[in-house]
A = this chain, B = another copy of it.
Amino acid sequence: MSLLDLYKDDRELSEDEESEDEFVPDQASDGDASQQGAHASAANTTGTESHSAAKVLTLESMNPNIREMEYAVRGAIPIRAEKLKEQLKTHPGSLPFKQITPCNIGNPQQLEQKPLTFLRQVSALMEYTDLLSPQMIDTTRKLFPEDAIERARRNLAYVGNAVGAYTHSLGIFEVRQDIARFIEERDGFPSNADNICLTSGASGAVERVIDMLVSSPDVGIMIPIPQYPLYTATLAHVNAQAVPYYLQEDNDWQLSIGDLEHSLAEARAKGTDVRALVVINPGNPTGGCLLESNIAEIVRFCQRHRLVIMADEVYQTNIYTGTNPFVSFKKVVAQLGSDVELFSFHSISKGMVGECGRRGGYYEAVNIDDKVMGQLLKLASVSLCPNVQGQMAVGIMVNPPRPGDISYAQYHAEIESIYESMKRRAKKLAKAFNSLPNMSCNDAQGAMYLFPRVELPQAFVEEAKAKGQQPDSLYCMQMLEATGISVVPGSGFGQYPGTFHFRSTFLPPENLFDDFIDGFKRFHLGLIARYSPKI
């Protein structure tokens, strides 16, 4: 059985599961005005089965590519978690836990991470510009530092004072210039604002680039396994091939060039027109961070085999070890003097900024054909522009207060505090996982996740299979029901056949972290004990 076949089997099983369970919440639910089952349990004005059969738009008639998409990060388990959260509100004390702990998604401000003050001050001033008027400015100065006022004025000048107007489709030019300078400072190589496009989060950028790359169902894009499911979802959406390659769990999730060669050769032999390679660095869901030497090998591999590199680098500041610093693909491409085509993605949702709800991100296009750049501009123009405050937040992320600025000390302290806390929590959670029987976990070198491996007892695996469920999905669902902790099963990301994992963020606030770990331990030890052969 080849890598591809194994991966397909895995997908098919979880598709079956999800198309039934995940996105079609049962109609027997109490149907009150809660978020759960929203959109699917809605009382349609005409809702009988006989009418439904006559509808134009049905599960059968709709776009089959969308039907085949999966997105486990917001799948069955988080949907169940929403129902339990509602139950805790309406029937307190009816569950064996007091709160839902959402570790399924890297959404730090949901878990009490405070936003960066300077960013929010500047945003607020851009929202309500009367605060900058002669009538109000003296009072405003009592609430806002001078450099935030100055920055707001400067940003407003970029957009003719109107954050409520559409901007250039690629984004505000001055923000793109700031991004280019940030990239130059980071890498030591030139960057050009004209090669940068602001987007609605990095997700929007990734979707757009994949969309551009896929001209037929024969086109394939290499993706890591485990991967962030945006990639398989988007490939399913545009009806292209996911060409998987495995990350090496026993080598801190580095890439093996031998595996890449093997996977590519196999896919091309089958007639797949493999055009690009996705690398997520630091890794989601793995938490791994690639060594510079490994990146150089990957660049050479792509150059050799004519593959566009898609470098998902949204966790570039979430780095927790001295041994594996972040090195950008752009830098390595420049160092090697390579003309390999590269798209690099970044976002305000991750790092210490954590502004997920603001939807800001960008891509840098390197060595991309000029006419293709024109087409990317056209594609951006149909969506008009990304939201302006998201763009402005990218600008602040790449050009924060500098030493000597009034807000520097606070900004720096906030960043450090979030960073140090994440680092502590990453270590602590990995240690907890590694202390348990039937579990092992690589330390997080980067990102916001751990991806522990669970040795599930054979009896549990068989029980899951008898129920037609993925064993790791059943494990995670039972974890949720027992503890209120919501994580994502490894099968949602892909994993080496026969292994089981889950992804957990390490974002719960530190004051709750011990409770979180205790709850998890009780669940895991209880399950192992119940299903292990009695001696």
Contacts and interface: CB of A to CB of B under 8 A. Distances in A.
Nearest to A389: B389
Contact of A162 (B110, B128, B163): B110
Given A56-B306, A164-B354, A379-B66, A44 B370 contact: yes
A57 B46 CA distance: 48
A174 B351 CA distance: 29
A67 B375 contact: yes
Contacts of A318: none
Interface string A36-53: 011111111111000110
Interface residues of A, number: 137
Contacts of A381: 71, 73-75
Q: How many copies are assembled?
A: 2
A495 interface: no
A411 B373 CA distance: 43
A341 B24 CA distance: 19
B40 A374 contact: yes
B67 A164 contact: no
Contacts of A306: 54, 56
Interface string A159-187: 11011111111100100110000000000
Given A339-B45, A367-B46, A375 B23 contact: yes
A206 to B, nearest CB: 10
Contacts of A212: 57, 62-63, 66
A370 B40 contact: yes
Nearest to A172: B35
A22 B356 CA distance: 34
Interface string A61-99: 111101101010111000000100000000000000000
B334 A45 contact: yes
A35 B125 CA distance: 26
Contact of A308 (B56, B82, B215): B56
A109 B165 contact: yes
A204 B383 contact: yes
B384 A387 contact: no
A483 B138 CA distance: 42
A1 interface: no
Given A123-B127, A129-B120, A131-B143, A23 B377 contact: yes
21 contacts: A23-B378, A24-B370, A35-B173, A38-B173, A39-B170, A41-B194, A58-B371, A59-B375, A62-B213, A63-B213, A75-B381, A109-B162, A110-B166, A128-B144, A165-B357, A166-B357, A200-B383, A357-B387, A358-B388, A358-B389, A387-B387
